[in-house]
Structure 1
Amino acid sequence: MRFNPKADIRGGRVGDAGGGGGMGGGGMRIPIPGGARAGGGIGGIIIIVLFFVISSCLGGGGGGSTLPTDTGVDSQGQAGNPQGLDEDGERYANCKTGADANKDVDCARKAVLFSLEQYWAKALPEQGGPELTPAQTVTFSGGVDTGCGQATSQVGPFYCPADQQIYLDTTFFADVLEGQLGGQGGDFVEPYVLAHEFGHHIQNLLGTMGQVRTQKGPDSDAVRLELQADCYAGMWTRHASDSDLITLDQGDIDEALDSAKTVGDDRIQQKSGQGVDPEGWTHGSSEQRQRWFGVGYNEGTLQACDTFSASEL
């Protein structure tokens, strides 16, 4: 993945919250099933990845716990009490051009987010959706306060509909996705994750999250929501391939597909030493996640990504 060195990336909405966030007033606490903790072994991995990319304050963990569904988002997908950062902060202060993005991973993140916002600002209304209300991404370490409650690094990347922000501890990719789950890694892994999370923001704006009633099982609404976000990630990836900002090659697409495979429910269950149990799925199988990413990439429309109307996932 390379960026046009002359491109202006200052429009990418990302800020850094630092580390060590505690429980804040208001908002809602995100219950982490099983009491995940650092160094918790494979059981902790399951908890992390069940939350990873669900990002919608829906149920998805083990141990019978669920995330709160009353998020404070109204029927038009507008959030109450947004918690956006006013400035990029020191971490992103020097990220101004594509040349900066080619040299610095933080600037690359800012460029990817700028590309996502540009794409959806055009594609969403063109395909019958509302005007885009941009989402901001907040990077953190240790812990962070959100509109959905306090979260630690073990939650993994997630989207909070209550404040319409994406939260990302950047150590997740090396520590969990590669180190513990065996993903191949690569510079397009994080863009795939960010595109998936931004896809949840699009679902929030479209009101799709309100369709979720069932939260576990191979045909559940939760699985349909996650596969649709993978499909939306594929839509943006196709656009990025053809844009003036980002240059992708087949290796980048392969990295996205490998990441989708790595976080498939069946793969996670196997990594935990359990048998594959589709009734416990919340995100879909590795094959499903790869396939729906491909649908978005190849067809590029919201209609093609309508997993809620699909007879087979």
Structure 2
Amino acid sequence: MPPSLPPRRKSNTGVIVTVTLVAVLAVVGALTTVLVVMDDKKSNSVADSGYNYESQAPTPTRTYDPGPSSEAITPTQPPSAASSTPRATTRTTTTSTPSGPRPVLKTKDNPLFLGENGTNVVTCNLPKWQSTPTAAQAFFTAALPCLEAAWQPVMQRANLPYQRPKLVFPSGKRWSSGCGDVTEGEAAAFYCPPDGAIYMPFEGLNVQANKNMIGSYLSVFAHEFGHHIQALSGAMKAAYQQAYEVGPDTAAGLEISRREELQAQCFSGMWFAAAWNGKGSITDTVVRDMLEDGYQRGDDNNPSAPRDHGKRQNYGAWQKQGYEKNRTYQCNTYLAPASSVS
């Protein structure tokens, strides 16, 4: 049975949403680490996370099954901006240094996680979903400004840069990007940092299995947008550097990848909190589909695959966490215990 929804509440900050639900989610389609992975028979793959800054093809994630696991554990108090490490500052000695906010190459101490910073309420009036490539492209193109309206103020409050991601809608069953080539069997959707682009191939959505569950499609899209936020903040590149130092395929490197992926899931939930409060197209049914979908994806759907996205229970729990808490510090997976990111 799908999880029950929390009571609809007004924002207690005026600009920040304060919806409440609890723990962690994943999407019904397939995702990979900055990509989404898919199974033709069962759309229970993981959602992807931030991708390599090297020109290598992204590694796809696998599928999951239901299974008991611990819920996500995150900080109960927001970090204080006063007690945090100073942010990177722009130079004033040369005219060539860009002015304005800049990324900060930190993970757990990134300014993105300081204070009571949540997504702004947005009203998203989206076109009716139709399972055709042209209609899907129009649908996600219309959804992009809704994600931006919720997330751009978050970046501004954190004094971090923001720019719109590119949207790419590749056709066929093999898709090329600045991060390498991906096939339909490897991913459902993905984000490529060198391109600054979200790739949403229609073939990856598995519309026959998911039918008109737009909560599932939007969950994938919001997950990839979450990777974009990670990239802009500097947290994604910092995570990649840490994984590179310990070895991306080692147990420590795979744990870093899972923390990044599960954080994108949490960010996805934060956007649903903002849009659900806006009383537009994101209805109770859409949210229920999103929450149910999250718990269907995970590494444990494919026991032979690398553990780089997290098991179903944690994949779903972090998305639910973002939806219920709607605060970036509640999505700071880099401070969570290992059991919450397994």
- Counterparts of 1:171-250 in structure 2, within 5 Å, are 171-174=203-206, 179=209, 186-209=213-236, 210-212=238-240, 213=243, 214-215=248-249, 217=251, 220-243=255-278, 246-250=280-284
Unaligned runs of 5+ in 1: 1-31, 63-74, 79-96
User: Cα RMSD (Å) of the superposition?
Assistant: 3.7
Equivalent residue for 1:53?
Answer: 48
Question: Counterpart amino acid of 1:211?
Answer: A
Q: For residues 247-297 of structure 1, give each alpha carbon's deviation from its aligned partner in whole angstroms, at most 9, with x where no partner exists.
A: 32332122112322222111x22xxxx5xx7x9411111111111111111
Question: Counterpart amino acid of 1:236?
Answer: W
Equivalent residue for 2:166?
Answer: 136
Unaligned runs of 5+ in 2: 1-34, 53-57, 63-101, 106-123
- Counterparts of 1:15-54 in structure 2, within 5 Å, are 49=45, 53-54=48-49
Aligned: 1:159 with 2:154: no
Cα distance in 1 between the residues matched to 2:141 and 2:295: 25
SS of aligned partner of 1:284: coil
Equivalent residue for 2:314?
Answer: 288
Identity %: 24
Q: TM-score, normalised by structure 1?
A: 0.62
Question: Counterpart amino acid of 1:170?
Answer: F
Q: For residues 182-238 of structure 1, give each alpha carbon's deviation from its aligned partner in whole angstroms, at most 9, with x where no partner exists.
A: x68612211110000000011111122222415565970111111100000011110
Equivalent residue for 2:323?
Answer: 297
Give the number of aligned pairs: 229
Equivalent residue for 1:309?
Answer: 335
Equivalent residue for 2:288?
Answer: 254
Q: TM-score, normalised by structure 2?
A: 0.57
Q: Structure 1 pair 102/309, CA: closer, same or farther in 2 (3 Å)?
A: same
Q: Structure 1 pair 144/99, CA: closer, same or farther in 2 (3 Å)?
A: closer
Q: Are 2:103 and 2:161, in contact at CA under 8 Å, matched by a contact in 1?
A: no
The alpha-carbon deviation at position 239 of structure 1 amounts to: 0.4
